Amino acid sequence: MTETNELLIDLSGVRKFFRAPDHSDRIVLEDVNFELKQGEIVALLGKSGSGKSTLLRIIAGLIGANGGRVLYRGKAINGPVRGISMVFQSFALFPWLTVQQNVELGLEALAVPPREREEQALEAIDVIGLGGFESAYPRELSGGMRQRVGFARALVMRPDVLLMDEPFSALDVLTAETLSGDLLELWLERKIPTKGILFVSHNIEEAVAMSDRVLIFSSDPGRVKAEVPVSLPHPRDKDSPAFKALVDQVYAIMTQRPLRTVGAEPLSLGYRLPSATPHKIEGMIETLIEPQFNGKADLPALADELQLPDDALFHLLEAGALLGFIKVDEGDAILLPLGRTFAEAETTDRKSVFAQQLMAHISLASHIRHVLDERRDHRAPEGRFIQELEDFLSDDEAERVLEQVISWGRYAEIFDYDYTSGVLSLPEEEDQEPPTEDVAAE
Amino acid sequence: MPRTIIPAAVSLGPSLRPNAWDLAVLPLALAILWVLAFGSAQMTTPYNIGDPLPISLDPGELPYYLMRSFLRMAAGLVFSLLFTLVYATLAAKSRYAEKILIPLLDVLQSIPILGFLSITVTGFIALFPGNLLGVECASIFAIFTSQAWNMTFSFYASLRTVPHDLEEAAAMFHLSIWQRFWQLELPFAAPSLIWNMMMSVSGGWFFVVASEAITVNSQTITLPGIGSYIAMAIAEKDLSAIGWAILAMLIGIVLYDQLLFRPLVAWADKFKFESLPGEEIPTSRLLDVLQRAKLVRALGAIPAFFWEWSLVLFHKRTDGLSKSGEKSFRLPWFDRLWTVFLLGLAAFAVYRIGDYVRAEVGLDEVLHVFLLGLITAVRVIVLIAIAAAIWVPVGVWIGFRPRIAQTVQPIAQFMAAFPANLMFPVAVILILHFNASVEIWTSPLMILGTQWYILFNVISGAMSMPSDFRAVADNLGLKGWLRWKRMILPGIFPSFVTGAITASGGSWNASIVSEMVSWGDTTLMATGIGSYIADNTQKGDFPRIALGVAVMCCYVMLFNRQVWRRMYRLAEERLRID
């Protein structure tokens, strides 16, 4: 076997951008280099919006890259490749086809004779543990069983490379663990012909438990930030110190740079504000002040206590850090003095602390407030701000970010929003007051 | 599509020996075959304009007439379906085609359907000289125009909303364009397409009746059918014949529902993307029989074979690694050039039409017709308002009482399908009898058939309102107007808008037959754009028909854009219960 044959997937200098409506380019992936070797499982971790799923789709041949090389066994990928199969987060089963028809779909598309494809489909269904459900429709199955159909449909193609886009994230914890355990068993016992697996995950523990390497993505633009090899033997004990140390290490890397703290240069207007409701932020800070943590919490422990998935936790941590309530250091969340003040204050005082921090550190919030102050009727349509944000972000992301800042602004009572008309305005009782006095009063 | 009724591998031999179900299916299949053969032979008999086509008022002839109307409806439906599949697919797949096809469809659906008939009938007759087929085609074309547009819009909307993950899965598992259409896009669109077909047929009976007695150059051609029977009965002032016709119509509507739509809806239920909990699963006795009969399986094996064979033939042959991968060409300057070309074409068309109208009828007449349009517009608005004032409270009352709703709902749907033009003579008799104002009392005829859409939509809206809402309202003591304002009206608004859009569109169409009604040799004419078109159609004044149709089209488009689309968006965005 030659050197190139050992490499299933070989990416170098991959670049991807999407064209914004104003013809400017938004870079999603920049200079991504990656190799998938025979016999390994690789996990991709990263903040939402870091381009992991885009990368997976480029390898799948569903979308093209704008630059760089994308090779499968030394040949350029130009479309969906025969040797590569994929499992989807949402299962993506055809609801009008039975389990068996769904599994046969790919073989049917390639014009495999009926007898042969039936044989192969039944075998795949059996291997994945769905024997007896061949004639069921997806709507009759539970989420976990549906994803098993998704696996059977991918595996019946006898893929060299199996791609998985957050395959377990739509399932409950127990189901997810059973299913990933089953898959790992098939892989370790060589019951499936697949030679390499690449999967996107948002769950650090799951990534460390399954893979031989964890790749961590940074966002804006997305690129591989760090790589953590996992050489623990299977089966891996999630409570072992070695396992826990690896999980801690990944947490620490993931919270290294993107968590900005107060005092750094002001955020740009188009900064991707994290998704975290004010009440969740309150909840996190109240948890941190509890005696068991006393102002400092190990991230896995905090995730456990708050019962949040990792990506939601990261959003929450970032929000807390942006507002100057906490900082994150070496995989620990640490409550800052202002956070303590916030936690101990009454509702109205909390709101004014929140407002003050919002005006001082979140440039989008202060920008909106200034625009409203300057306008004679103190009103402005949301479309105006969305347009400004679209210079930096995709349409959907621009709307999400504005929605986020509106939720914070409403909580802080620095501006108001009418859903029906889509108009932002100053809160009614303080129409006349300029906002700076409001903050100074605090 | 046949794959679900017929297993892929049909082996001949003992398994094909007929079973008990075949005894039921066989006569049905033979009857359908006979109707098709006999009916289509009758459609192509020799005919020259001026030949008399006698229509007998003997009720014994009615089954034959019903069969002819039935076939016209079926032909219209088949052509609508073919048109929908091709047109909507083209619009959804090609950006260049989309830019011209969708605005064109928007204009087409705003043109009054009977206007199409007036304009196209001479062309169709010229197409088949000396044969009745030309006139048949014109009638079928009118039925087609009453069905095709909304089916096409529905299918186009479905194609555009195929879930992205399923599209990705289809690409990932190497489905070719042809395979994707049959395995993903068509099944996904099927439930809403079938629902729209049902609504189309329901609206179509009106035009079957209206399009059979066609006037060309002051000559009335009466195609054998229910519509002509009615026209004859009106001319002869024969009330009992009208009674028989109404009965025949009832039977026709029920037959269509039982033979075609019930089985279809029951079958298409499996394609529904997600079913709401507690939703009733549609069933059809006929579908059960069809699925069990071996004859059907044997017959279905033929199309199934070709279908499977085409899927094999058109499979994807690229492996994703060859250089000749799918590269879509996309040139910004070509986009712009295409837009400029289309705008130029539109400007040229407007210029030519303007030129033609000015030369043939003059600007004064154009203004006059716009004024007539305004009068009809006022009628439509007032009537929708009155119908809403009556049917919204009634519909809510019924919808909140599930037991009553279950019996009333099918009746309301049936009333919507029933061609209201059958009732027009009664109105003429009443108006003459009471010596009432023609301008006012012919107006209700416009909404006679379409008001039911408001009723049955409001009923279903009220039925689907979560019972929690009513419990909360009771708990908080909401009463009287406050209860309506805060709970009931916002709750049923989306369904009301859906019904009102259909009712308004139908009323504009109906104005052509309802502003000018006759009984024997008495003709009552109200002022409006509908009677203007009807009058000029009788005179065979082509430029004035075109002018009337164009102006009505403008009004309908204005209405759709300025009123209905906004209300629809409001309902979608703010008042949706989810």
- Per DSSP, the three-state class of A73 is coil
> Would strands B219-222 and B213-216 be described as parallel, antiparallel, or unpaired?
antiparallel
- For chain A, the residues whose C-beta falls within 8 A of a C-beta of chain B are 57, 60-62, 72, 75-82, 84-86, 88-97, 105-106, 108-111, 114, 137, 139, 153, 157, 419-420
The answer to whether residues B450 and B444 touch, using CB atoms and an 8 Å cutoff, is no
Judged on CB neighbours under 10 Å (0-12, 13-18, 19+), A248 is middle
Residue B456 has pLDDT above 70, yes or no: yes
Residue B9: pLDDT band (50, 70, 90) is very low
A82, A88, A114 ranked by CB distance to B320: nearest: A82
- Non-local CB neighbours of B179 within 8 Å, separated by 6+ positions: A108, A109, B170, B311, B314, B315, B316
* CA–CA–CA angle A403, A223, B165 (5° rounding): 60
How close, in Å, is residue B321 to chain A by CA atoms? 5
How close, in Å, is residue B455 to chain A by CA atoms? 28
Q: Which of residues 246-275 of B touch A (CB under 8 A)?
A: 270-275
The answer to whether residues A89 and A166 touch, using CB atoms and an 8 Å cutoff, is yes
Residue A265: pLDDT band (50, 70, 90) is low
Return d(Cα A56, Cα A165) in angstroms, integer. Answer: 7
- Non-local CB neighbours of B301 within 8 Å, separated by 6+ positions: B6, B10
**Interface contact flag, A110 B169, Cβ < 8 Å:** no
A92, A93, A111 ranked by CB distance to B315: nearest: A111
- Phi, psi angles (nearest 5°) of residue A196: -160, 145
Closest listed residue to residue B310, CA positions, set B188, B193, B181, B189: B181
Q: Residue B127: its pLDDT value, please?
A: 84
Residue of A nearest to B572 (CA): A420
The pTM assigned to this predicted structure is 0.80
B4: chain A residues, CB-CB within 8 Å = 96
The DSSP call for residue A200 is E
A78, A105, A137 ranked by CB distance to B173: nearest: A105
The token pair at B551 is 């102006």
- Bridge partners of A222, per DSSP, are A29
A88: chain B residues, CB-CB within 8 Å = 165, 168-169
The DSSP call for residue A228 is E
B176: chain A residues, CB-CB within 8 Å = 109
A93: chain B residues, CB-CB within 8 Å = 169
How close, in Å, is residue A414 to chain B by CA atoms? 25
Compare A263 and A392 and report the one with higher pLDDT.
A392
**Interface contact flag, B574 A420, Cβ < 8 Å:** yes
Return d(Cα B81, Cα A176) in angstroms, integer. Answer: 45
**Interface contact flag, A109 B168, Cβ < 8 Å:** no
The token pair at B523 is 């003709």
Longest Cα separation, chain B: 82
Return d(Cα B537, Cα B516) in angstroms, integer. Answer: 12
Percentage of chain A modeled with pLDDT above 70: 92
Return d(Cα B248, Cα A149) in angstroms, integer. Answer: 52
**Interface contact flag, A109 B322, Cβ < 8 Å:** no
Closest listed residue to residue B264, CA positions, set B322, B190, B319: B190
Residue of A nearest to B185 (CA): A94
* CA–CA–CA angle A187, A190, A192 (5° rounding): 70
Q: Residue A200: its pLDDT value, please?
A: 94
Return d(Cα B417, Cα B411) in angstroms, integer. Answer: 10
Cβ count within 10 A of residue B51 = 10
**Interface contact flag, A75 B321, Cβ < 8 Å:** yes
Cβ count within 10 A of residue B25 = 20
ipTM above 0.90, yes or no: no
Return d(Cα B34, Cα B230) in angstroms, integer. Answer: 26
Consecutive H or E run containing A18: strand A7-19
Residue B18 has pLDDT above 80, yes or no: no
Return d(Cα B413, Cα A350) in angstroms, integer. Answer: 58
Highest mean pLDDT (candidates A265-274, A411-420, B465-474)? A411-420
Residue of A nearest to B277 (CA): A139
**Interface contact flag, B320 A78, Cβ < 8 Å:** yes
Q: Residue B380: its pLDDT value, please?
A: 92
Q: With an 8 Å Cβ cutoff, is B237 touching chain A?
A: no
Q: With an 8 Å Cβ cutoff, is B184 touching chain A?
A: yes
Residue B50: pLDDT band (50, 70, 90) is low
How close, in Å, is residue A57 to chain B by CA atoms? 9
**Interface contact flag, A92 B316, Cβ < 8 Å:** no
Return d(Cα B411, Cα B253) in angstroms, integer. Answer: 12
- Per DSSP, the three-state class of B254 is helix
Residue of B nearest to A153 (CA): B173
- Per DSSP, the three-state class of A273 is coil
B315: chain A residues, CB-CB within 8 Å = 109-111
Q: With an 8 Å Cβ cutoff, is B191 touching chain A?
A: no
Highest mean pLDDT (candidates A31-40, A432-441, B40-49, B514-523)? A31-40
Highest mean pLDDT (candidates A14-28, B207-221, B230-244, B287-301)? B230-244
The answer to whether residues B128 and B134 touch, using CB atoms and an 8 Å cutoff, is yes
A95: chain B residues, CB-CB within 8 Å = 270-274
pLDDT tens digit string along A294-331? 888 888 888 888 888 888 888 899 899 888 899 888 78
Consecutive H or E run containing B78: helix B62-93
Q: Residue A259: its pLDDT value, please?
A: 47
Helix A382-390 × helix A363-374 angle, to 10°:
140
pLDDT tens digit string along B55-101? 788 888 888 888 888 888 999 999 999 999 999 999 988 888 888 88
Residue A262: pLDDT band (50, 70, 90) is very low
Cα→Cα distances B391→A261, B398, B405, B447, B559, Å:
61, 10, 14, 12, 22
pLDDT tens digit string along B533-576? 888 887 878 788 888 888 898 898 888 888 888 888 888 777 66
Residue B326: pLDDT band (50, 70, 90) is very low
Q: With an 8 Å Cβ cutoff, is B571 touching chain A?
A: no
**Interface contact flag, A109 B174, Cβ < 8 Å:** yes
> Would strands A379-381 and A332-335 be described as parallel, antiparallel, or unpaired?
unpaired
How close, in Å, is residue A96 to chain B by CA atoms? 5
pLDDT tens digit string along B403-429? 888 788 778 877 888 888 777 878 888
Percentage of chain B modeled with pLDDT above 90: 13
A57, A79, A105 ranked by CB distance to B326: nearest: A79
Return d(Cα A106, Cα B357) in angstroms, integer. Answer: 58
- Phi, psi angles (nearest 5°) of residue B532: -60, -45
Compare B284 and A149 and report the one with higher pLDDT.
A149
Query: What is the arithmetic mean of pLDDT over B239-247?
Result: 87
**Interface contact flag, A153 B173, Cβ < 8 Å:** yes
Q: How far is CA A427 from the centre of its chain?
A: 34
Q: With an 8 Å Cβ cutoff, is B321 touching chain A?
A: yes
**Interface contact flag, A80 B184, Cβ < 8 Å:** no
Residue B6: pLDDT band (50, 70, 90) is very low
Cα→Cα distances B230→B223, B425, B518, B538, Å:
12, 10, 12, 18
DSSP letters for B279-313: PPPP--HHHHHHHH-HHHHHHHHHHHHHHHHHHHH
Sign of the CA dihedral B415, B418, B422, B428? positive
Return d(Cα A15, Cα A162) in angstroms, integer. Answer: 22
> Would strands A84-87 and A161-165 be described as parallel, antiparallel, or unpaired?
parallel
Query: What is the arithmetic mean of pLDDT over B207-228?
Result: 80
Query: Following CA atoms B343, B347, B353, B355 in sequence, which dihedral angle do they give, to the nearest 10 degrees?
Result: -170
Q: Residue B13: its pLDDT value, please?
A: 43
CA R_g for chain A: 25
Q: Residue B4: its pLDDT value, please?
A: 37
| Chain B interface, best mutation among A19, A96, A107, by max B CB count within 10 A | A96
CA R_g for chain B: 26
Residue of B nearest to A79 (CA): B320
Q: With an 8 Å Cβ cutoff, is B20 touching chain A?
A: no
B277: chain A residues, CB-CB within 8 Å = none
Cα→Cα distances A50→A223, A244, A251, B123, Å:
8, 25, 16, 62
Q: With an 8 Å Cβ cutoff, is B326 touching chain A?
A: yes
A80: chain B residues, CB-CB within 8 Å = 171-174, 320
How close, in Å, is residue B263 to chain A by CA atoms? 17
How many residues are present in chain B? Answer: 578
B312: chain A residues, CB-CB within 8 Å = 111
Query: Following CA atoms A355, A356, A362, A365 in sequence, which dihedral angle do they give, to the nearest 10 degrees?
Result: 50
> Would strands A423-425 and A379-381 be described as parallel, antiparallel, or unpaired?
antiparallel
- Phi, psi angles (nearest 5°) of residue A8: -75, -55
Residue A258 has pLDDT above 60, yes or no: no
**HSE on the CB side for A350, CA within 13 Å?**
17
pLDDT tens digit string along B142-177? 889 888 988 898 899 889 888 999 999 999 999 988
Query: What is the arithmetic mean of pLDDT over A52-57?
Result: 91
**Among A137-146, A161-170, B33-42, which stretch is predicted with the lowest mean pLDDT?**
B33-42
**HSE on the CB side for B418, CA within 13 Å?**
22
A82, A85, A114 ranked by CB distance to B319: nearest: A82
Cβ count within 10 A of residue A119 = 12
B274: chain A residues, CB-CB within 8 Å = 95, 139
Residue of B nearest to A86 (CA): B172
B171, B174, B271 ranked by CB distance to A96: nearest: B271
Residue of B nearest to A96 (CA): B271
A66: chain B residues, CB-CB within 8 Å = none
Mean pLDDT (chain A, rounded): 86
Q: Residue A429: its pLDDT value, please?
A: 64
Q: Residue A14: its pLDDT value, please?
A: 92
Closest listed residue to residue B577, CA positions, set B453, B459, B463: B463
Residue A21: pLDDT band (50, 70, 90) is low
- Per DSSP, the three-state class of A329 is strand
Helix A395-412 × helix A363-374 angle, to 10°:
70
How close, in Å, is residue B285 to chain A by CA atoms? 21
B179, B274, B321 ranked by CB distance to A76: nearest: B321
| Chain B interface, best mutation among A82, A97, A110, A164, by max B CB count within 10 A | A110
Residue A167 has pLDDT above 60, yes or no: yes
**Interface contact flag, B321 A88, Cβ < 8 Å:** no
Query: What is the arithmetic mean of pLDDT over A322-351?
Result: 88
